[in-house]
A and B are shown apart, each in its own frame.
Chain A
Amino acid sequence: MLEAKEVTYRHPGGFYLLENIHFSIQKNEVVGLSGVSGAGKTTLAKILAGFLKPHYGTVNIQQQKRKAHPVQLIWQHPEQAVNPKWRIRKILQEAGNMDDTLFNELGIQSEWLTRFPQQLSGGELQRVCIARALMTNPDYVIADEVTTMLDPIAQAEIWQLLLRMADKKQFGLCVISHDRHLLDKVCDRIVRFEELSYD
């Protein structure tokens, strides 16, 4: 179980963005996290995935010691999450050994591998980022508004993929979005961001 307890965070010199947050997610569970824009959903995601350190409180992950982080975050903007100077092949290799069956399942075509990130569309690049996160065999995946900039068809494809992979590889999936309809569709359980903190 991935569990955040009493997590408190503020940006340096700023106000408290997260105060006394409690959040937990089981393996093989799809949890939706909804909240208004600016509430701190992305900050919480970064804390859970180890990008930021909370000022107070703990994040407990039950896991064995491994090279890659057990919680993988898929960023809202895939073009920021890849080195613009690298070709797709190298971007994927950074996360581990190339896994052709995974690429097939995610619909990553072999001719993408020699291209630069700018030569792929947002949806295509997001698939690359998802593949990269899954190549590390994570215990938990946090999808932070991953389909916000995509058209409805691409959105549907990405969610089908993610749900199928979560089912197959048995990882806990945390879906962050402000789109209630989407969350109703894909999640086992939905929590509202405002409900996470109680005194």
Chain B
Amino acid sequence: MTKKVMIPLILLIVLYTTSILIDKDMIQVQLLTKNHPPSLEHLFGTDWLGRDMFLRTLKGLELSIGIGLLTAVLSTMIGFLLSVLSTIHEKIDQVISWLVDLFLSLPHLVTLILISFTLGGGFKGVVIGLALTHWPQITRVLRGELLQLKEMPYVQLSGKFGQSFWWKVWHHYVPHVLPQLLVGFMLIFPHAILHEASITFLGFGLSADEPAIGIILSESMQYLTSGMWWLAFFPGVMLLIVILLFQSLANSVKNDLERDIQHEAFIEHSATNHSASENKSPYS
């Protein structure tokens, strides 16, 4: 792992663990200190109930990161499963392609709001809604890859050696599309967080008592006109930072995975064995 992978990864882990460590009792209503602008005592200021915005923002990020990870895992799994199914038969492939096109043709946010609203909102509604709307892009990428891989002689031979379909999936397909899976997963994550924040902001997502970033942002809108800019500014910036960190992580992991491992191994191998194999002929 290179430095470019480690730095955003460590920052994200630090951010997440500190936000877990924050107790909910620390974010209590303290009317004596309400509406304070940012100071050393309250880094991000306090809100109209005197709650410390720094702690609230971190707590909100914990929820957002949790939802982001969960939905990204779910969407990636749906995408992989559907693309594997589409390699089984042409007809299944047609149905899945049609589903992908259908979901891509609908505006993301509308589907998300509809699904989340039908499921009654809340954590469950948001997670299922996000998972069910973020799979089409990754499915399309994986499907193309797998359909190509399926035709390779070495994959077809696998069946003739008596290996089962799921053995083939696990040993040939998964390693082959692992870079796409990981990168797809990491690209869905910021998307999911932003969409979670936006539907919560619109009032279709999480309930108002949970300290999610979307709730914080939507509440702060009422106070912006009275000059309390810090209520929206800092949570928004923190959300942006987390997303940028994750995106840079995704990019560096992608670059790492796309390194030509065999080529590097080949160069290494020929460098070490060159002197040894030079005067050795198989027919001598």
Are A68 and B162 in contact, with the CB atoms below 8 A? Answer: yes
Are A94 and B161 in contact, with the CB atoms below 8 A? Answer: yes
Residues of B within 8 A of A85 (CB): 175-176, 262
Residue of A81, A83, A136 with highest tally of chain B CB at under 10 A: A83
Q: Which residue of B lies closest to A80 (CB)?
A: B153
Bound-state Cα–Cα, A84 to B269, Å: 16
Among residues 158 to 184 in chain B, which have CB atoms less than 8 Å away from a CB atom of chain A? 158-163, 171-172, 175-176
Q: Which residue of A lies closest to B155 (CB)?
A: A83
Among residues 64 to 114 in chain A, which have CB atoms less than 8 Å away from a CB atom of chain B? 66-69, 72-73, 75, 77, 80-85, 94-96
Are A82 and B160 in contact, with the CB atoms below 8 A? Answer: no
Are B172 and A83 in contact, with the CB atoms below 8 A? Answer: yes
Q: A80-B152, A85-B262, A118-B266 are in contact. Are A94 and B163 (CB under 8 A)?
A: yes
Among residues 125 to 165 in chain A, which have CB atoms less than 8 Å away from a CB atom of chain B? 132, 136, 153
**Interchain CB contact (< 8 A) of A67 among B162, B175, B269:** B162
Q: Which residue of A lies closest to B149 (CB)?
A: A83
Residues of A within 8 A of B155 (CB): 83
Bound-state Cα–Cα, A67 to B283, Å: 39
B253 to chain A, nearest CB (A): 18
Residues of B within 8 A of A83 (CB): 154-155, 172
**Interchain CB contact (< 8 A) of A68 among B161, B175, B283:** B161
Residues of B within 8 A of A4 (CB): none
A101 to chain B, nearest CB (A): 20
B13 at the interface (CB under 8 A from A): no
Q: Which residue of B lies closest to A67 (CB)?
A: B162
B102 at the interface (CB under 8 A from A): no
**Interchain CB contact (< 8 A) of B161 among A75, A77, A96, A153:** A96
A193 at the interface (CB under 8 A from B): no
Residues of A within 8 A of B160 (CB): 49-51, 68-69, 72-73
Closest 10 CB pairs of A and B: A67-B162, A68-B162, A69-B160, A95-B161, A80-B153, A116-B262, A83-B154, A81-B153, A68-B161, A82-B154
Bound-state Cα–Cα, A95 to B167, Å: 12
Task: Report A's interface with B, CB cutoff 8 A.
Answer: 49-51, 66-69, 72-73, 75, 77, 80-85, 94-96, 115-116, 118-119, 132, 136, 153
Bound-state Cα–Cα, A97 to B152, Å: 24
Residues of A within 8 A of B263 (CB): 118
A9 to chain B, nearest CB (A): 17
Bound-state Cα–Cα, A69 to B262, Å: 31
Q: A81-B154, A81-B157 are in contact. Are A153 and B262 (CB under 8 A)?
A: no
B156 at the interface (CB under 8 A from A): yes
Residue of B159, B161, B163, B283 with highest tally of chain A CB at under 10 A: B161
Residues of B within 8 A of A136 (CB): 161-162
B179 to chain A, nearest CB (A): 11
Q: A51-B160, A66-B162, A67-B162 are in contact. Are A118 and B262 (CB under 8 A)?
A: yes
Are A119 and B157 in contact, with the CB atoms below 8 A? Answer: no
Residues of B within 8 A of A68 (CB): 160-162
Bound-state Cα–Cα, A167 to B266, Å: 37
Q: Please list 24 pairs of residues, one from A and one from B, whose beta carbons are closer than 8 Å in the complex, sorted by A's number.
A: A49-B160, A50-B160, A51-B156, A51-B160, A66-B162, A68-B160, A68-B162, A69-B162, A73-B157, A75-B153, A75-B157, A77-B153, A80-B153, A80-B154, A81-B154, A81-B157, A82-B154, A83-B154, A94-B163, A115-B269, A116-B262, A116-B266, A119-B265, A119-B269
Residues of A within 8 A of B152 (CB): 80
Residue of B152, B158, B160, B263 with highest tally of chain A CB at under 10 A: B160
Residues of B within 8 A of A50 (CB): 160
Among residues 227 to 272 in chain B, which have CB atoms less than 8 Å away from a CB atom of chain A? 262-263, 265-266, 269
Q: Which residue of A lies closest to B156 (CB)?
A: A51
Q: Which residue of B lies closest to A70 (CB)?
A: B160
Q: A75-B153, A115-B269 are in contact. Are A94 and B175 (CB under 8 A)?
A: no
